[in-house]
Amino acid sequence: MLRTYDWQTNRLVPVETPDAEQNGVTPVWTDLINPTPEENAHAEKLLGVQVPSRDEMEEIELSARLYHEDGAEFMTITALANLDTDAPAKTPVTFILKDQALVTVRYVEPKPFRAFLVRSQRPGVVSASTGELTMLGIVEAIVDRLADTLERAGNEIDAISAGIFRNQASTVSKKTRNLQSVIERIGRQGDLLTMVRESLVSITRLAAYHAALEEGNRPANRESRQRTKLIQRDVASLAEHAAFMSNKINFLLDATLGLINLEQNQIIKIFSVAAVVFLPPTLVASNYGMNFDFMPELHWLLGYPFAITLMVISAVVPFLYFKGRGWL
């Protein structure tokens, strides 16, 4: 899908796809969503550059994600999609900036793009008069989305912490099941934070690369320079917060595993104590269960009550001793 937008009447409006050969008109923003080869060819003809393929966009080398070619900046970041579901996903998004015209290449439609379009189509809400400002606006929307994601993740982590340290389960089995479900929730939040941090790192590199080109190759207008610095500050603060939350996730995981080990040790301790408590009665019963011809208590009238009493005493004494020592 190919969409084009131009800056008219102080807002970004969709326009018909222009033919660069006929009138030389280059829209402010050309958006390629899961493009066909024909749409890629159109964008390449429009800017005179080669649009990277999806495999090239997914490469992790810095030189394959941030480079300058044919007078155009190629910048690829890792964006996140499906953040409102249980299966968030990473997706590469490429920005191609040339002569104040922007081409974006993506294969999903993250919410920040829709949010930016809604804002930019309201007169005077956001400035997107050039391709550079449009790119910065999209990146700002992505950063805002990541910030919202971190806020929700923080609330979920607080709920997990409360569930771990304020577990009111009535039985050991219920408490163990609760802790097992907590591990699953911790794992999901850990995966999400990892993806958020990866996305923030890619945005940091994009902002630094773009700022360096602004200083070295062409004069930057004041607005774009300020917005680039603002993006860098926001991303740095979010990265620190994401690192803090990752550390908290690791702490909660260690605490959960420790509590599960304690519960298991408690169960093993109960079995061990029970075995020790019932060992003396078993010894007494075994002694009087031997089939010898001459046993003094065998024909004794009080032999049976005596044996039962001896077994009870031999079980109660170790129990009281363990309880007195605080082992139960």
pLDDT per residue as tens digits for the range 184-195? 889 999 999 999
Structure tokens, 258: 């420790």
Q: Which residue has the tokens 């968030």?
A: 88
CATH 3.30.460.20 placement within the chain: 2-263
Question: Dihedral of the CA atoms 80, 85, 87, 88 (nearest 10)?
Answer: 10
CA distance 178 to 189: 17
Q: How far apart are CA 193 and CA 253, in angstroms?
A: 14
Structure confidence at residue 259 (pLDDT)? 82
pTM, 2 dp:
0.79
- What CA–CA distance (Å, rounded) separates 304 from 43? 100
Rounded to whole angstroms, the Cα distance separating 156 from 150 reads 10
| CATH 1.20.58.340 residue ranges for the chain | 269-324
**Which of the four pLDDT bands, split at 50, 70 and 90, describes residue 20?**
very low
Q: Which pLDDT score, from 0 to 100, does residue 168 have?
A: 61
SS3 52: coil
The whole-number pLDDT of residue 172 equals: 54
Q: Quick check: helix, strand or coil at residue 217?
A: coil
Per CATH, the homologous superfamily of domain 269-324 is: Magnesium transport protein CorA, transmembrane region (1.20.58.340)
- Mean of pLDDT over the chain: 83
For residues 76 and 106, what is the distance between their CA atoms, to the nearest angstrom? 10
H-run or E-run covering 146? helix 131-165
Question: Which of 115, 162, 140, 256 lies closest to 154, judged by CA?
Answer: 162
106 or 47, higher pLDDT? 106
CA distance 30 to 101: 8
User: Of 35, 37, 30, 39, which is closest to residue 99 (Cα–Cα)?
Assistant: 30
Task: Using alpha carbons only, give the angle 63, 65, 70 rounded to the nearest 5 degrees.
Answer: 80
Copy the structure tokens of residue 231. Answer: 């993006």
**Which pLDDT score, from 0 to 100, does residue 22 have?**
45
Pick the CATH number of 2-263 from 3.90.1150.10, 3.30.460.20, 2.40.160.10, 3.40.50.360: 3.30.460.20
Q: In 3-state terms, the chain is what percent helix, strand and coil (to 5)? A: 60, 15, 25
